[in-house]
């Protein structure tokens, strides 16, 4: 098993309790650089992997394959943790790493554990109250939306389909013991106030 673990925005006091537990339990911990190393080091001495900042896709692929070879033996036999700043599902290296490992070591399972993302950390650090919808981008136009507090998911999905959206994921009461995840045609008529929907064209 390989777990992509969010380490937060960089302050060691913003590591989650779950992150600390997984770092201690892991059979091996891997990080992409010095900042992540310093966050993890009080709990485990990690292996620092090379992820060069370059636009050379051939070089990136070569490094991803080399890193996959280091992680795979641990993930095949036990729990490997890849600690990354922010959140492993937001504009991160983890998804590309998983794609390579899926090709080269198809038996390895993956999951992610969230950290405090830069989006919510920014609002706190900058004193910005976010009380309306907003757009998050890496500079490119997006075909995806994230909607909070979706009480009528099937109805909402129907209206979004009219706008060209085709892929839907609803997470209800996330990380509570009764959490439920619905996809596409499984969407219920009604859902809890604590529900988040992802929609993509």
pLDDT in tens, 84-129: 998 888 878 899 999 999 999 999 999 999 999 888 888 898 898 9
Give the model's confidence band at 23: pLDDT under 50 very low, under 70 low, under 90 confident, else very high.
very high
Q: Is the pLDDT of residue 137 over 90?
A: no
Q: In this structure, are 114 and 153 located in the same domain?
A: no
Split into its structural domains, the chain has a count of: 2
Domain shared by 51 and 105, yes or no? yes
Instruction: Give the single-character DSSP code of 184.
Output: G
Evaluate if residue 50 carries a pLDDT over 80. yes
Mean pLDDT estimate for the chain: 92
The span from the CA of 29 to the CA of 16, in Å, is 16
Regarding whether 112 and 149 lie in a shared domain, the answer is no
**Domain interval for residue 153:** 144-200
- Domain boundary at 67, 84, 119, which? 119
Domain finish residue from 68, 102, 119:
119
Domain-terminating residue out of 119, 134, 158: 119
pLDDT at 153: 96
Section 183-189 average pLDDT = 94
180 and 105 both lie in a single domain: no
How far is residue 53's CA from residue 33's CA, in Å, rounded to a whole number? 11
What pLDDT is attached to residue 15?
95
pTM of the full structure: 0.84
102 DSSP 8-state letter: H
For residue 141, pLDDT beyond 80: no
> Is 125 within the bounds of a domain?
no
pLDDT of amino acid 128: 86
Spacing of C-alpha 23 from chain mean position = 17
186, pLDDT greater than 90:
yes
Q: Is residue 151 part of a domain?
A: yes
Res. 138: pLDDT tops 90: no
Residues 19, 102: one domain? Answer: yes
Cβ–Cβ < 8 Å for 72, 102: no
């Amino acid at each position: 098993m390989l777990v992509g673990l969010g380490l937060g925005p960089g302050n060691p006091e913003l590591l989650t309790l779950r992150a600390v537990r997984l770092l201690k339990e892991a059979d091996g911990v891997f990080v992409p650089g010095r900042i992540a190393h310093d966050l993890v080091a009080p709990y485990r001495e990690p292996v620092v992997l090379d992820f060069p900042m370059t636009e050379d896709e051939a070089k990136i692929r070569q490094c991803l394959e080399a890193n996959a070879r280091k992680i795979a033996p641990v993930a095949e036999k036990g729990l490997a943790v890849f600690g990354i700043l922010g959140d492993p599902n937001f504009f991160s290296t983890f998804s590309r790493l998983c794609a390579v490992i899926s090709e080269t070591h198809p038996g390895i399972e993956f999951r992610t554990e969230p950290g405090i993302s830069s989006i919510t950390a920014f609002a706190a650090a900058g004193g910005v109250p976010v009380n309306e919808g907003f757009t998050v981008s890496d500079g490119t136009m997006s075909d995806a939306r994230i909607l909070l507090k979706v009480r009528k998911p099937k109805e909402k999905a129907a209206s979004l389909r009219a706008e060209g959206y085709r892929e839907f994921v609803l997470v209800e009461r996330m990380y509570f013991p009764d959490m439920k995840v619905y996809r596409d045609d499984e969407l219920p008529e009604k859902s809890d106030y604590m529900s988040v929907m992802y929609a993509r064209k």
